[in-house]
Chain A
Amino acid sequence: MQAIETVTVGSGGAASITFSSIPDTYTDLMIVVSSRSTVSGVNDALDLLPNGASGNNSLRYLRGDGSSVQSGSETTNLVSYTPGATTTSDTFGNASIYITNYTSTSSKSISTDGVGENNATSVRSAIIATLHSGTTAFTSLELSLRNGNFVEHSTATLYGILAGSDGSTTVT
């Protein structure tokens, strides 16, 4: 597992973070995100747009927010939830997003594990499994908040994961 690039959002925030021209030399990819949204609320949806495009997704989620647990399905690009402006000041949520076989020209799976942060009883955490049915290899990945902007100091790191030298992942 090797860090490819890290982005830290500067002053003024940003609507999205894009990793472009991703090398095709890895087996899988993983993005680790620490983020907070400007949205006026507790949660903002964090989307992942492969090659900058929405669509081709079928996902199942399991989430909880301190008072209830929900499960369901969507066809959006949702990968996690990010705490908004009404959560405890200066707290950031985090998520890890795992993308398998990103150079494949057939369907790919994306699995995420994310949590918000709030010194109160209400903020979402979620695990999400996505089937991306697009047949284009991923050469760029865009992280985008659906209702707000990333605040300053939000970070995202893209990692590349290589299969074992025998052509398969080696577990010891």
Chain B
Amino acid sequence: MANEISTKIVINCSTGVREVLELTQAEIDEREAMRIESEKAQAAQDKAQKATAAKKLSGRNKLLALGLTEAEVTALVG
């Protein structure tokens, strides 16, 4: 990815001057750090959603095992 990133556009809102500049190494590192943080956050969200889905299915199955119909379970828990 780092090879793809080369330039940034900076426009000065006071003067209207527009520049196309090469990214500094610090900026490249910052982007990479943000990307890694994002991946971690996404992984945590995916894990939490899977856990919730598993609990929902487990609870649904237990209600069905008690004798409720599919329609009744759906009415209760969606």
A interface residues with partner B (beta carbon < 8 Å): 4-5, 7, 9-10, 12-23, 38, 45, 47, 54, 70, 72, 74, 76-78, 142, 144, 146-149, 158
B70 adjacent to chain A (CB < 8 Å) = no
Instruction: Please tell me if B49 contacts chain A, counting CB pairs below 8 Å.
Output: yes
Minimum Cβ distance to chain A for residue B47 (Å): 12
The distance in angstroms between the C-alpha atoms of A72 and B15, with both chains bound, is 40
B30 within 8 A of A: yes
Q: Which residues of B contact A77 (CB under 8 A)?
A: 34
| Assembled-state Cα–Cα distance A13/B7 (Å) | 8
Interface residues of B (CB under 8 A from A): 1, 4-16, 18, 20, 23, 27, 30-31, 33-35, 37-38, 41, 45, 48-49
- Which of A5, A16, A72 contacts B8, CB < 8 Å? A16
From known contacts A70-B49, A72-B45, A76-B41, infer whether A47 and B10 are also in contact, taking CB-CB under 8 Å: no
Per DSSP, chain B at the interface is mixed
Give the distance to chain A from B36, nearest Cβ to Cβ, in Å: 10
Which of B27, B30, B31 has the most CB atoms of chain A within a 10 A radius of its CB? B31
Are B12 and A20 in contact, CB atoms less than 8 angstroms apart? yes
In the docked arrangement, what's the CA distance between A9 and B9, Å? 8
Q: Which of A12, A15, A17, A146 contacts B38 (CB 8 A)?
A: A146
Given contacts A14-B20, A15-B7, A149-B5, 11 further A-B contacts (CB under 8 A): A4-B13, A5-B13, A7-B11, A13-B7, A15-B6, A16-B8, A22-B13, A23-B14, A47-B34, A72-B45, A146-B38
Closest chain B CB from A45 CB (angstroms): 6
Task: Compute how far the CA of A126 lies from the CA of B75 in the bound complex, rounded to whole angstroms.
Answer: 28
Contacts of A72 in B (CB 8 A): 45, 48
Residue of B nearest to A19 (CB): B13
Among B15, B34, B38, B49, the one with the most A-chain Cβ atoms within 10 Å of its Cβ is B34
In the complex, how many angstroms separate the beta carbon of A29 from the nearest chain B beta carbon?
10
CB distance from A153 to the nearest CB of B (A): 13
Q: Which of A18, A22, A23, A54 contacts B34 (CB 8 A)?
A: A54
